[in-house]
Structure 1
Amino acid sequence: MKFIIGRDQILAPLQQIVSVIEKRQTMPILSNVLLQASDDQLVMTGTDTEIQIVSKINIESILKSGEITVPARKFLDICRLLPPAAEVSFELQDDKVKLVSGRSRFSLSTLPAEHYPEFNESNYEYDFVLNAGKLKKALEKTVFCMANQDVRYYLNGLLLHVSNSRLKLVASDGHRLSIYEDDIGQATGCESRIILPRKAVQELSRLLDDPEAELNIQFSNNHIKLYYKDVVFSSKLIDAKFPDFSKVFNQSFMSPLLIQKQLLREALTRVAILSNEKYKGVTFDIAGDSLKLSTHNPEHDEAEEELVIDYQGEPLTISFNSQYMLDAVTNLDSEMAVLTIASNASSCFVEEPEQALFKFIVMPMRM
């Protein structure tokens, strides 16, 4: 196996693959990247058995075909630290790989390619095309609400609901919820709900760097596969049912509260400095055209700030986790924020004044 490749050509695909590979592995070969060179193409594969990324690079200088696995992070670090526009000569000699670039020489240990684990995939029932920028935005507006290591494992992921030409993404950690809904741009003829694992969502969000590119998505009940430029991304799915969140919409609400996003964000950040470090609670006192934010902590420190708002409803006092409210407000694209609290004070909708594609729901807390 022997080929010559430009450092700049291999670096980005190698970074994408290494991000999937776990640092601590039960099987040593999972720390390696699989390299397959043949027919003017280098195919690189990385997996943690739950997620797999396959990247294809067209190169003319394949002097000898073959396949081998090399330590992924070491290979990446070597390529990363070489000067830009450098050329790398890659040659397999016995059970070592010799890397030569200019005056630099490296020798890497290898493991046989035939021992590399196969990523078992099912037959894909659904198939549709989506703009990559659309999915990237949908992920950005929902990913921060996913749970992390929750015992309700279905919350450690993201619901992807395809209903013919509509796409809906939902994430929740049980205390807050984000919903993004958009048009796919074509009739898919499919009606399905799947849950993507947390790591797959994060890697996918990192991978989609071209908003103009097209994305071919295939999925079944157990797996999802996405074709993006020269990359094939596959992941297992969470086998569970996402909780029914539709009830939160079917209730009566108080008058909406309109406020400048930036003012609310800055005031919340300041007041939260003196909140209880564990609970991060901030109290909202809403009356007329005034919103008073206040907080205190066990050390008897207190903070208070008053803001001008547009509100026609009844006076109200309610408390929220300041970080949850900040995350929701920060993720709005508009200059104004609309807060709508349920009549029974069980939830607060945070959205934009115009009909936006997304909305956030934050549950109140007892102070």
Structure 2
Amino acid sequence: MKIFCSKDALLSGVNAVQRAVSNKNPLPVLQGILIQAENQSLQFAATDLEIGIRCDVPAQVTEEGTMIVPAKLFTEVVRKLPDTTISLEERDQAITICYHQSKIVLNGYDPEEFPLLPDLIEPLSFSLPTMIFKNMIRQTIFSCAAEENRPVFNGILLQIENSTIRLVATDTHRLAYIISEITNSEETKFSGIIPSKTLSEIYRLLRDEDEDLMISYSNNQVVFQFGSIYLVSRLIEGQFPNYKQVIPQTCETKVYLAVREFLDAVERASLLSRDKSSANIVRINVENNELRIDQTTELGKISEQISVEMEGKDVRIAFNAKFLIDALKVIDSERILFELSGPFSPGVMRPSDNPNYIYLVLPVRTS
């Protein structure tokens, strides 16, 4: 195999696939990136057997072939290369990288041992604008669980029904829900739990351009295709909780307030909120069209007042400050409706101009 291409092309290829490289699997070949040269292009591929990514970049191919390069080392080498035409040549699993009058030789792996990324058999497919899906990921993914003891909470529920697409994420302490309209002429239906790692990669790779994202699925796998990227992922097995039962249909108190003002106040109060148990709690009191945050800790005191519009009962309630901050940072609206029903019931945030987004957060019981 022998090819010529630019440093930028090599860099875009390795950057696209490197996050799918396995760091834990005992198979050495999974710590590599497969590079295949054919039809005047290079195809990069990597997989950890749960997620796989392919990407095509332009190249001048003088001899077709396949090689597997050590991912971490090859990526670091490419980043240090000069901005010039680079040649890659593979002979007996040794990869020679030439530039100017210099060369680097890396030991590769046997391509025969690399697992091929699957192409789905008779998949069902639909498409939607990339910007819609990217924004949906941004407004939900932070609510996934970080711990891996209950896999269904490490993913996001993706549902397609009629002309709507829905994402739901929860770690059992909070829940983010968003729904968008799509064109679904074939009335495709789908419901599956996508690993958060997969969707964070989609978010990283999607460009802020008006192009379509194609989503295909069959059995226990889902494929995302956009631009030159092909990403395949397993679905998480298990039963996602019934989110419809969790979202309150009524509330005792409605609070209308400015997102930026509320976010700034919570962030300031949270600076003093770390007590000995490392709980980051903010205590909120709503009465007389005023929302007040009073904090007294070993570090000091803070008192924040925000003018709000309220309907219903006065309420005192406490929340994990991080859970409020995470949501307020991704809400695009200037104002929200914060629905409360006493100190022990969940609070629900809704953007004032977007009925398709809901964020639910459980309160913290304090003495």
1:48 aligned to 2:56? no
Specify the alignment match of 1:160 in structure 2.
Answer: 158
Alpha-carbon displacement from aligned partner over 1:258-301 (angstroms, at most 9, x marks no partner): 1121111111111111113522111111001111112344x374
Specify the alignment match of 1:288 in structure 2.
Answer: 288
1:15 aligned to 2:15? yes
* 1:53–1:233 Cα contact (<8 Å) kept: yes
Deviation at 1:72, TM superposition (A): 1.4
Deviation at 1:58, TM superposition (A): 3.2
Specify the alignment match of 1:365 in structure 2.
Answer: 364
Report the 3-state secondary structure (helix = DSSP H, G, I; strand = E; otherwise coil) of the residue aligned with 2:309.
coil
* 1:134–1:211 Cα contact (<8 Å) kept: no
* 2:160–2:166 Cα contact (<8 Å) kept: yes
Specify the alignment match of 2:326 in structure 1.
Answer: 327
Alpha-carbon displacement from aligned partner over 1:42-69 (angstroms, at most 9, x marks no partner): 211111110000112232x211111111
Letter of the 1:5 counterpart: C
* d(CA) in 1 for partners of 2:223, 2:216: 5
* d(CA) in 2 for partners of 1:124, 1:282: 52
Runs of 5+ unmatched residues, structure 1: none
* d(CA) in 2 for partners of 1:98, 1:333: 49
33-42 vs 20-29, which moves further: 20-29
- The 1:181/1:124 distance shift into structure 2, 3 A limit, reads farther
* 1:160–1:193 Cα contact (<8 Å) kept: yes
1:187 aligned to 2:165? no
Letter of the 1:218 counterpart: S
Alpha-carbon displacement from aligned partner over 1:300-331 (angstroms, at most 9, x marks no partner): 74332221111132111011001101111111
- The 1:192/1:93 distance shift into structure 2, 3 A limit, reads closer
Specify the alignment match of 1:310 in structure 2.
Answer: 309
Specify the alignment match of 1:147 in structure 2.
Answer: 145
* d(CA) in 1 for partners of 2:153, 2:337: 26
* 2:158–2:165 Cα contact (<8 Å) kept: yes
1:336 aligned to 2:338? no
Please give the residue correspondences for 1:1-367 in structure 2 after superposition, counting only pairs within 5 Å.
1-59=1-59, 61-84=60-83, 86-120=84-118, 123-277=121-275, 278-297=278-297, 299=298, 301-342=300-341, 345-367=344-366
Deviation at 1:250, TM superposition (A): 4.8
* d(CA) in 1 for partners of 2:39, 2:7: 20
TM-align CA RMSD: 1.8
In percent, how many aligned pairs have the same letter? 25
* 1:194–1:221 Cα contact (<8 Å) kept: no
Letter of the 1:292 counterpart: R
* d(CA) in 2 for partners of 1:344, 1:317: 6
* 1:252–1:343 Cα contact (<8 Å) kept: no
* d(CA) in 1 for partners of 2:255, 2:248: 19
Alpha-carbon displacement from aligned partner over 1:192-237 (angstroms, at most 9, x marks no partner): 2100112111111111114311111101240001111111100001
**Could you tell me the TM-score, scaled by structure 1's length?**
0.94
Deviation at 1:343, TM superposition (A): 6.0
* 1:329–1:337 Cα contact (<8 Å) kept: no
Letter of the 2:304 counterpart: E
Letter of the 1:169 counterpart: L
Deviation at 1:24, TM superposition (A): 4.1
* d(CA) in 1 for partners of 2:318, 2:186: 43
* 2:216–2:223 Cα contact (<8 Å) kept: yes
Report the 3-state secondary structure (helix = DSSP H, G, I; strand = E; otherwise coil) of the residue aligned with 1:14.
helix
* 2:291–2:305 Cα contact (<8 Å) kept: yes
Report the 3-state secondary structure (helix = DSSP H, G, I; strand = E; otherwise coil) of the residue aligned with 1:37.
strand
* d(CA) in 2 for partners of 1:251, 1:142: 21
* d(CA) in 2 for partners of 1:150, 1:188: 36
Letter of the 1:217 counterpart: I
Deviation at 1:255, TM superposition (A): 3.5
Letter of the 1:214 counterpart: D
97-106 vs 42-51, which moves further: 97-106
* d(CA) in 2 for partners of 1:251, 1:235: 35
* d(CA) in 2 for partners of 1:27, 1:98: 24
Runs of 5+ unmatched residues, structure 2: none
Letter of the 1:172 counterpart: T
Letter of the 1:259 counterpart: L
Letter of the 2:327 counterpart: A
Letter of the 2:318 counterpart: S
- The 1:41/1:121 distance shift into structure 2, 3 A limit, reads closer
* d(CA) in 2 for partners of 1:327, 1:8: 35
